[in-house]
Structure 1
């Protein structure tokens, strides 16, 4: 419709395409194809294109020219790791235009059906040279690799990453000649990976560390062996929000309470008042725990969330995630989980649960709210670490069963350490990449060639963006 409108506004003999199909045919004549290989070609031309535009070239030295150095943590450039790199590689740090990159990888279902096991994996690059408001914007996120489904690569992901790694090695050891349009000069651009961003299972694939079993924590390792539950006999990895919400609402498959969890208490000879009771007809009765909600309390909890209204883009429409018939939350994305933990859950439970249980959960939510602040005072990190280790987890252990405390509940203990070394959490989370993957899912118009649809659409976007910058 836009093409038709523009064509009508121009003189009658204009050659503007009158449809998207005709526009695509015009672009195909420009000889700008993409090549399908086992891994995408390198990203060097896109880095060069950044510097070819004066406005972007100026932004890429924000970390040197405009960063506020007042001791607070706002950006990875404020972190000790950034200063450590400067001290260890002074030649790299001397050129302020050299890039420090973050690599993220994750799988997503292109067909949007939870019953479909199709999994496509994306590998994206972002640069931390940009200011915090631009680092994670769609324009500055590069899709470096698209690993075809239907199966996830698993531990073989290193095979697919080979070409990306080779490019990074070349950028680090040799660099490339780039023209800086802002300073009107050529220089040798080098780059290095500053960090990787992924969920916990993908962390295991990338690092080669086994994130299951007794030593599932990659930081504590043998120092945190955990306790084997003889009855449950399993290791599971939902996120913290799923564990809390699933247990409170007693959602099948997500709750950490049940007969096996109560039998674990019996096996450990603790909390006798909560042990499962088998009656004469073979049914099992689970005595109510401190976190057990009555049906009317579940209704109140779900209704409070269903009435929530948030600005567009802040999270999913929470009302659509609440099922009042089954009293469950369905379809939660990781961003929605963090919004719930940081903002909404303390409000939803304010009038239910015993006081001590409610305060323990609110303390956990307050911890996540604090570590996701955009500005963090390093002096407060020790207090935050003591809060999560000494108070929050110990209080939760008083009320929730041992099966609640899997490795995902343990990992928040180390989040403060990550902030202390690498900077704010909000610059290293998966939300922005998941939003980008949702955009990719919208590109799929042919179910037989989903990855091809994404490649075609990205090709046209690159052409149009580059042409727009040129004009």
Structure 2
């Protein structure tokens, strides 16, 4: 893209050819002889040839470049003297309607005279001017450029012969006519006709009429966004907003744009630096989980490791579809066998395991119960919402899933290594949901530290739990009151909505199965 900037307090007008002449000379040279250029990639010289593809300007600039009179009754450069216009005396302006002439002769809009100008439309829009027809109209117009004196020009809507006609290929451009654009053109004409039914006449300026020619321009030159003024005009609107003193608009634009660029640079630069004097959350970079204290490598028993591995398989979203498929397949092939065969279908994790006494995840800091005994704070309490399968009393077949809250304390923290990723598990002691957890009359949840249960399901994913605290009940020392933990993660690792962050879509709720005590 080549930009032409013409200095001065006034526009060049029809004398723009004076400024374009050096460009035309260079374009002729590039077309006829070319220019010797060096290709750094292939390290060879080649002859560069170039041609002008299209011009980008607003409509007044289009008039200067095409040397067509874009004001008055015949302001459309495509249809010239066939332009249908109407002069409004009170508004003192010309409007351009008559869009039903572009419709097919059988279109029903042509007969709806009451919705238009009161007559049945029988006229047909003529074909647009070709490049040869335009050249015939301007080739004999002789105009002396410059503003030293004025020379009378012929009474014609074409003011002069544009300097672009000096290019040897200008009059030989061909039109590409993809059929896929014809439907768009028909829709545009129908829309403009509907506008004429309801809008006032003063709405239909030349810019509205020119919409009828957009499809034609696309066929000739390709997409509008690469050659139209619309992006530039939108940016000019931004630049005009910088003007505070109309006496010096250019200085205001330069100053305002420079200030904005400086602010953007400083913002981008400061975003990559560490703030001084501002406390940083300890959970920054740890929301996904990270061990903190007491790291060591351990070797677990085979049975407990298999339990942990099976728990991971049952709670990973990626594994769940295959798990259900294998359960159905095994059920068909081995009606007498249960779904526990799935446990042997996958390889176990790497050994030894990483163990921690402390772990940060989801904005919480968790400790094991052993670490809690050495600390002045309590961080080993957890709660999780899980589905439990309950069987009806006296019926071992009929069951239903119930969503309940389970409470426990962390005994161990494991980080299982699966080569490509790691999974953090809490090995917990769960309070017996049936005998060790109750809700008192005041609505407080209480747990009994002497009643634990669910020993077959000691593991839980670290990302699934919430932190709770246990406070000894002064009315009954055997029970402890459950208090929910708090966290502050807004602004940590770009978290904006805590409720949205709480949606653990990738980790389905765990399932704890038990039969009620009879």
Q: Tell me the TM-score normalized by structure 2.
A: 0.30
Larger Rg belongs to? 2
TM-score in terms of structure 1 length? 0.33
More strand by share: 2
Greater RCO structure (CA 8 Å; 6+ sep) = 1
Structure with bigger helix share is: 1
